[in-house]
Structure 1
Amino acid sequence: MNVIVVLAIILFLLMLILGGKKGIRSFVSLFLNFGVIMFTIFLMTNPQWNPIIITIIACIFISCISLFFINEVNSKTIAAFISTMVTIVLLLFFIVLVTKYAMIQGFGEEEINELGVFSLFIGIDFTKLLASVIIMSTIGAIMDVAISMAASMHEIFNNNPSISGRDLFTSGLSVGRDILGADTNTLFFVFFGGYLALLLWFKDLHYSIGGIVNSKIFSAEMISILCAGIGVALSLPIASGINAYLLIRNREKRQA
């Protein structure tokens, strides 16, 4: 039996035993999100489509699947969805500017030999494509922060229904500080783990530290990591503010 099938079965059984119905939904969501990503890649190969717009639409679908399909529609998931979308839009504008002025689009000299037999005149804006790749790589961490903040702030509010909006916002930021360090380190190891073979190759080619740091591939990867970390950091005050606003507004509506 194929190793991938065996691993998928083991994952499914663990998610079923530990997560029950929600675990099954989480397992199914992996395939749904994979389908969204593959369809997004297919659309990006069409020069007539803007990769940025496609990315935003894909993020909406991925967020709906990951939040509403798994956890159903409720006040927590609605707040997390709004927080995710606001953060994605702000981060996307920031990344577009950074990738434009950093001039890291295209391919590095290490990739030229592999691409020599292919035509590079495919009509795709690599600046926009790189921005899309960073967003797609970051959305999981941003959603994780958003739903964690929503769950924590709802719990704080339920334990102290008379809390003020300012205190609720401050409590949310306090919780977010503990999340920030773990998520940024997770992003760092995920990105660099994927490029570990490249770093070993640099070593075998006797690249100096300066040569590695100044290579286009390394610069692009570092910019991806830093932009992803900025996105996670931005999501903390955004999620805290949106959750505080929605919870206080709902309380005032019930009291009116």
Structure 2
Amino acid sequence: MSALVFLLGLLPAGAQAQEALADTQELIRAEVVRVVREEHIEVPGTTLQVTVQTVDARTKEGSVLTFEYDLSPKLRPGNDVIIKRTTTIEGDVYLTYQDRDRRVLLGVLGLAFASMFVLLLGKRSWRTLASLAVSLCAIFFVLVPAITAGYAPIPITIAIAGTVLALAIFMTHGFSSQGITAFAGTFLAVGVSIVLASLVVALAGFTGTGNDAAVYLNVTTRGTLDLPAVLLASIIIGMLGVLDDVAVTQAAIVEELKAANQAYRFKELYRAAMRVGRDHISALTNTLVFAYVGAALPLVLLMSLMETPLTYLVNQEMVADEIVRILVGSMGLMLAVPLTTVIAAWWWHARVPQGAPAHTHAHHKES
């Protein structure tokens, strides 16, 4: 938590002055009341046709705004939309479709997630949700503003990663033997993964512009950000959740093995826990790979339509940086299991003498 307080102190006290824009823009929420007409227009130079809808939408103040829409799926009465109204310096007003308004839907989905979480986990869920909320605040209100303000991404990301891991583990599992050994194993695995990822990013010559968002970020910040460092920071943040999960599980396995058989020594604890850990590695590696492939499915489809040799497609930065995320994340996962197991086995072997109870903290039944 001290790292979080320190990082908050790094942020600039006030926002820098921005240049005034000639045009003013305003985002307006409205509800589609009717589709005035639909036209099928052929795209010049191709045989493709697009459907252009002219739509009337009513704002909450009651005024009706008319705009054109040429995307899919088609708009229908009752759809909530966001419209951008641009007023030029000459006083001309232009209305353009911005996006569907999904805020209510996302709120309901988030509430359903929280309700299911609380229902299944009982009292412990509140600690988990609290640690998740604080961790997200650390990322969005400390890490993001610090990087955009020009601070070096890597040191800040490492500090945030340590803070997030501490919050996630200790707020959820308490400051117990299980939590301490899980945190130590995870932090060591993250440290090794950071070194590995830094080496790969440097050797591969990544520019950090492998996706559209990074390109827009570079343009918006006028090239002032270190995009390769931002890429590395994103790899670090992306691996935290899965490493936390596997480390806590391994620490719990060692603790339960020692409780079941107090005669277990260090080697026996390690070997028995690793038999379970290897299965966990297999399952989570599959989860990690499929999660990345699923997120990149449009890119995979695009690659399948190209006539370029596969080796050249894989070499492109937009693909290569995703491969690096998968491989570094999986290697960090594989490191976390033996590291956490070694630490936990040593901890329980050193702290619990033979014949003594293995549990050093009480277990309470949670509803």
Shared fold (TM-score, shorter chain, > 0.5): yes
Structure 1 position 33 matched with structure 2 position 135: yes
- Please tell me whether residue 46 in structure 1 is matched to residue 149 in structure 2: yes
1:105 and 1:12 map into 2 onto residues whose CA distance is 38
Q: Note if contact 1:79-1:246 (Cα within 8 Å) is conserved in structure 2.
A: yes
- Structure 2 unaligned regions, length at least 5: 1-102, 357-367
Contact 1:83 1:238 in 2 (8 A): yes
CA distance, structure 2, for counterparts of residue 119 and residue 73 of structure 1: 43
Q: Deviations over 1:15-71 (max 9, x none)?
A: 222111112222333322221221212212233x22221111111121122111112
Residue number in structure 2 paired with 1:247? 348
Q: Note the 1:90-101 alignment, pairs <5 A.
A: 90-101=192-203
- The 3 A distance-change label for structure 1 pair 77 and 117 is closer
Cα distance between partner residues in 1 of 2:265 and 2:310: 52
Query: For 1:145-224, what aligned pairs fall within 5 Å after superposition?
Result: 145-203=246-304, 208-224=309-325
Q: Secondary structure at the match of 1:198?
A: helix
| 2:243 matches 1:142 | yes
Quick check: 1:91–1:231 contact (8 Å CA) kept in 2?
A: yes
Instruction: Check the 8 A contact 2:131/2:167 in 1, yes or no.
Output: yes
Note the residue ranges of structure 1 that are not aligned, 5 or more in a row. none
- The one-letter code of the counterpart of 2:169 is L
Classify the secondary structure of the residue corresponding to 1:118: helix
**Corresponding residue to 1:231 among 332, 340, 355:** 332
How far did 1:76 drift? 0.4
8 Å CA contact 1:29, 1:66 repeated in 2:
yes
Q: Distance in 1 between matches of 2:330 and 2:319?
A: 17
CA distance in 2, matches of 1:19, 1:128: 37
Higher strand share: 2
Between Structure 1 and Structure 2, the one with more helix by share is: 1
The 1:20–1:116 alpha-carbon spacing in structure 2 relative to 1, beyond 3 Å, is closer
Distance, in Å, in 2 between the alignment partners of 1:161 and 1:96 is 42
**Structure 1 vs Structure 2 CA RMSD:** 2.4
Q: If you compute each CA radius of gyration, which structure gives the higher value, 1 or 2?
A: 2
CA distance 1:254–1:126, shift in 2 (3 Å): farther
1:181-205 CA-to-partner distances (Å, cap 9, x unmatched) read: 1111111112122211222334456
Question: CA separation in 2, counterparts of 1:77 and 1:126?
Answer: 34
Q: Which amino acid aligns with 1:46?
A: A
Residues 23 and 116 of structure 1, relative CA distance in 2, 3 Å threshold: closer
The 1-side partners of 2:216 and 2:143 are apart by 23
Q: Distance in 1 between the 2:279 and 2:158 partners?
A: 28
Contact kept in structure 1, 2:269 and 2:345, CA below 8 Å: yes
* CA distance in structure 2 between the aligned counterparts of 1:208 and 1:111, rounded to whole angstroms: 23
**What is the letter of the counterpart of residue 195 of structure 1?**
A
TM-score by length of 1: 0.89
**CA-to-aligned-CA distance 1:113-153 (integer Å, 9 cap, x gap):** x6499256433323322221111101111111100000111
What letter corresponds to residue 138 of structure 2 in structure 1? Answer: V
Q: Distance in 1 between matches of 2:252 and 2:340?
A: 11
1:125 aligns with 2:226: yes
1:96, 1:127 within 8 Å by CA — same for their partners in 2?
no
Structure 2 equivalent of residue 62 of structure 1: 164
Q: Give the corresponding residue for 1:71.
A: 173
The 1:218/1:160 distance shift into structure 2, 3 A limit, reads same
